[in-house]
Amino acid sequence: MTGPRTPSDRVDVCIVGSGPAGAVTAAALAERGHEVIVLEAGPRFDFADRQHRMERHLRPAHGWTDVWDMGGPRDAYTSSGPVDYPLNTTRVKGVGGTTLHWLGLTPRFHEKDFEMESRYGLATDWPIAYDDLRPYYAEAETQMGVAGAEDNPFAPPREESFPMERFPPSYSDSLFAEACEELDIAVHSVPQARNSEPYDGRSACQGWGTCAPVCPSGAKYDATVHVRKAEQAGTRVIDRAPVQRLEHDSEGERVEAAVYATPDGTEHRQEARQFVVACGGIETPRLLLLSQSETYPDGLANSSGAVGRYLMEHAFAGTNGLLLERTEQHETGFITSESHQFYDHEDSTPGSVKLEFFNYAGPSPLDIALGDGRWGTDLLEAVDFEFGNRLQIGALVEQLPDPTNRVTLDTDETDDHGNPVPDVSWGVGNHAIAAMEHAQEIQRRILTTMGARVTGQTDVHDPGPARHPMGTTRMGTDPAESVVDTRLRTHDLENLSIASSSVFPTGGAMNPTLTIVTLALKAVEHIDADL
C-alpha cells in the first residue's frame, strides 16, 4: 500500500530502483538491521490485476508495452544507432522492475565469461573470477527459487543442488533431442526461477503460458518477492518517485542526497549514509549523466568517461521450421531444453552460443485470421495446417564491449520532468554476427535432420535484442577505464554503489538476471561492513 511520499530523516541506505538488484539489496540490508528506503520511478502494481494484464497481452488491440503501462513522456527515449533499440520493450517501470515481464531463465555465467582477454585476447577480463561468485550464485538461486537439474555437462562447477526439481522436457523437446542425438549435440534442462513445486510461500507453476510478459499466479519469481521481505524488515518503498539527480558534498567524495519528484511535481531530497543505484543498464548511466556538477561536468562518477559506454546486448538468432507431422506442442510459455555445447569455444571466433529449443506451436488462430483475413472454413483449414506443426530454435550470442555502443543524453527531447531522455546507440559488431551465423547453421542442421522445412531465419545484421542491456558502468580495477571496483562501489565516490547488469565488463551469452542478483548479494556484504 502506498504511503506518504515525503522523505525520511537521514537513513542508512537509499536505493534507487526496486528491480531484482534493488529489492534483494534492500531486503538483505534491512534484515541486517539497517534503515533502508527505496525510491521507485514507477507505480506499485496490484497483484490482483495480473490476470487482467495477461488478458491485455492476449488481445490484439494491445502491444507488449501496454501490459505494464510503458510509454508516453515518462518513458520517452531515442535510438540513434545502426540497429533500432526498442527500449520500452526491455524494461518495466514499477515496483518489481523488469522481472515483472522477464522469461525467468537463470543460468550461471561460465568461467570463460570472466576471462575473455586472458583466454582469447578479446575485450577485457572481469576483476573477479567465477570462483569468487560461487557462494553468492548458490545464495541467489535459493533466494529466488530456482528449479533445475545437474544434467548439463557444460555447466560451470557447483557444490549445491538446485532448490527445486527441474521442469520436465516438453513433447517437442523430445523431437529436438532425437535429432540432436543423431548430430551428437547434447540437450539438457534449463534452470529457471519458476516454481516446479510450492516454494517460499508461492504456488507451483499453474501453466498459464504467458510467462513473458506476465505470470498471473506468481509462481515465476519477480522482485516483488523481495520487496515484501524488505518491507517486512522495515524498509520504506516510495513508488512513483523518479530520482532526478544525485547530489554530492563540496569535496565531491560522497553523495549526500537523492533528489526525487512526486506525482504533484514536488521535489524532495532523501539523505542517506550509503546510496545504491539499481536502475538497470540504461537508466543507471542516465541518472549519473543527469547528476553532472562543477566537480563532475561529464556526469557523476564519470572521471573515466566510461559511464554510458560499452553497452552490450544478447543479439537473438533464430530459425523457424515447418514439420510435416503434428508436434501437438502447446504454448508452454517458457523453454524447457537448451544446449550449451557451443558455449565454451577454443578459438576466439565464433563466440559463445546458447541454443534454446522453443515450445512453439505456431501462430494462434487469431493471428492467422488477422494476418490473412481468413475466416470460417478457410480459417479452420489454415489453423489445421499452420498450428501444431511449427518449430523454432533460438540462440543468445556473445557480443563484445564496444565504446561506441553507448547511452547518452538527448538534449533535444525531454521526459515528463523536463530531463533529457536517454539516447541508445547500439550496433551488433562482427563478433556477434559471426556467432549468429554459426548458431543458425547449427539450427538449420537440426531442423533438416528432423525432416522439417526451414521457413525463416533472423537477419543477423538487424537482429532483435534479447532485452539484456549490460556494461554501461563497467567494473574494473583501473579508475581511468572503469566506473566501479570489485565491491561494486564507484571509484569516484566512497558511498555510492551500483547493483546492475551495467557493471558487467563482458556479457557472455547467458541470461543476466541471476548474475545481477549474485553481484548484489556480494555488494551487500561490503555495504554492510561500511555501515
Angstrom distance (rounded) from CA 219 to CA 303? 43
Which residues partner with 199 through β-bridges? 202
Burial class (CB in 10 A: 0-12, 13-18, 19+), 239: buried
Grid coordinates belonging to 83: 540497429
Instruction: List C-alpha distances in Å: 209 to 184, 215, 333, 360, 472.
Output: 31, 8, 4, 11, 33
Query: Given the C-alpha cell 519528484, which residue does it identify?
Result: 261
Going by C-alpha positions, the residue among 503, 501, 495 that lies closest to residue 527 is 495
For the chain, report the end-to-end CA distance as a whole number of angstroms. 29
Grid coordinates belonging to 290: 543527469
Cβ neighbours for 148, distance < 8 A, ≥ 6 positions apart: 106, 141, 162, 164, 166, 189, 190, 191, 192
Angstrom distance (rounded) from CA 386 to CA 338? 25
Grid coordinates belonging to 338: 537448451
Q: Half-sphere exposure of residue 374, counting CA atoms within 13 Å on the CB side?
A: 15
CB-based contact 514:144 (threshold 8 Å): yes
Angstrom distance (rounded) from CA 25 to CA 151? 31
Going by C-alpha positions, the residue among 440, 499, 491 that lies closest to residue 302 is 491
Determine the residue type at 141.
E
Active site (catalytic) residues: 468
* Dihedral (CA of 460, 466, 472, 476) sign: negative
3-state secondary structure of 483: coil
CB-based contact 222:100 (threshold 8 Å): yes
CB-based contact 28:20 (threshold 8 Å): no
Angstrom distance (rounded) from CA 127 to CA 392? 37
Going by C-alpha positions, the residue among 287, 303, 290 that lies closest to residue 253 is 303
Instruction: List C-alpha distances in Å: 112 to 188, 343, 375.
Output: 20, 9, 53
3-state secondary structure of 45: coil
Q: At what angle do helices 224-232 and 20-31 cross, to 10 degrees?
A: 20
